[in-house]
Amino acid sequence: MELRGKTAIVTGSNSGIGLGIAREMARAGADVVLNSFTDRDEDHALASELADAHGVNVRYIKADLSKADEARALVEQAGRCDILINNAGIQHVAPVEKFPIEKWDAIIAINLSSAFHTTAAALPMMRDAGWGRVINIASAHGLTASPYKAAYIAAKHGIVGLSKTVALETAREPITCNAVCPGYVLTPLVESQIPDTMKEYGMGRDEVIEKVLLDRQPSKEFATVEQLGGTCLFLCSDAATQITGTTISVDGGWTAL
C-alpha cells in the first residue's frame, strides 16, 4: 500500500485507535494531520516522532470537535484532505432517565456531528484532487445496542447512516465512504471504564475483562489499533474501490451473535 503524496486527517489521534491509524497511514507514506482538543508539547512531539519514523510530513492541529466551526476549520487549516478518518469519540454510561443533558449533547457533537462538519469541508478538496476516502470509526455499537449507553449508541448508529448517505452522494465519483465498526479495543477510553466496572461487579481486573468487556466478543480477544489501521489502509487500496456505503466489523464475531 503506497499512499505517498496523499494527506490523511485523523481526528482524535493523540491516543488510542486514532493514533494507531495515524501510525499505519504514516507507515504507508501518507502525510498525516493529527488532532485533538489539547495543545500540549507531547501532542506536537507525537507529530515529530511519526514524521521522523516514516519520512513523511506530520502536523498536529488543535481543534475541539464539539464545536462545528473548529471541526470545519481543522480541515481548512490542513489545506488538503485525501483521506478523512473521523475517529474522535467519548463515552458516558448512565440510564436514560439519569443521562446528563450536557453529556448527551457532547457525545452527539463529538461522535456524530463533527464527522458531518469535517466531511462537508473535505469533500470539495477530494473532488479537486480526483480521489478521496472518508472512513468513519463507528463501533459494534453502531449496529447493536447495550443498556446505559444511549448517546453513544445513537451517535454510532447515526454515523453509520451518515456514511451511507455520503456514499450515495459520491457514488459516481472516485470517492468512497464507509464505517469501520470495532468491538472492544484496549485503549484509554476502555481502560477508564475498568475501575468503575470492577467496583460495580465486585470483580478483579482480569475477570472484568473476560466476563464483562469481552462478554459479547466471541474471540475473547481485544481488537488492536494496528488491526484497525490495517483495515483503514485496505479501504484506501484499489481493491476497495467498489466498497462504499457499508460497514466493516472488526469485532471478533460480536455482531454475528
Which residues of this chain interact with ligand NAD, rule CB under 6 A? Answer: 12-18, 36-37, 64-66, 87-90, 110-111, 137, 139, 182, 184-185, 187-190
By annotation, the residues acting in catalysis are: 152
Joined together, the cell numbers standing for residue 206 give 482480569
Given the complex with ligand NAD, which of 66 and 176 has the nearer CB atom?
Answer: 66
Q: Which residues pair with 33 in a beta bridge?
A: 9, 59
CA 217, chain centre distance (Å): 19
- Spell out the residues 6+ positions from residue 4 whose beta carbon is closer than 8 angstroms to its own: 29, 30, 56
For 91, 196, 204, 205, the CA distances from 200, given in Å and listed in that order, are 17, 6, 11, 12
Given the complex with ligand NAD, which of 189 and 212 has the nearer CB atom?
Answer: 189
Alpha-carbon Rg for the chain, nearest whole angstrom, is: 18
Given the complex with ligand NAD, which of 62 and 127 has the nearer CB atom?
Answer: 62
Conformation bin of residue 16: beta by default, left when phi > 0, alpha when psi is -120 to 50 = left
Given the complex with ligand NAD, which of 37 and 99 has the nearer CB atom?
Answer: 37
Closest distance to ligand NAD from the beta carbon of 43 (Å): 9
Closest distance to ligand NAD from the beta carbon of 222 (Å): 7
Other Cβ atoms within 10 Å of 66 Cβ, number: 19
Closest distance to ligand NAD from the beta carbon of 14 (Å): 5
Crossing angle, helix 16-27 and helix 41-54, to 10 degrees?
A: 30
Joined together, the cell numbers standing for residue 198 give 470492577
Given the complex with ligand NAD, which of 116 and 184 has the nearer CB atom?
Answer: 184
Closest distance to ligand NAD from the beta carbon of 224 (Å): 10
Closest distance to ligand NAD from the beta carbon of 171 (Å): 25
Closest distance to ligand NAD from the beta carbon of 90 (Å): 5
Q: Is 147 buried (19+), middle (13-18) or exposed (0-12) by CB count in 10 A? A: exposed
DSSP state of 140: G
Given the complex with ligand NAD, which of 77 and 131 has the nearer CB atom?
Answer: 77
| Spatial separation of the C-alpha atoms in residues 18 and 225, rounded to whole Å | 8
Taking the CA atoms of residue 178, residue 166, residue 146 and residue 67 in that order, the dihedral angle to the nearest 10 degrees is: 110
CA 37, chain centre distance (Å): 15
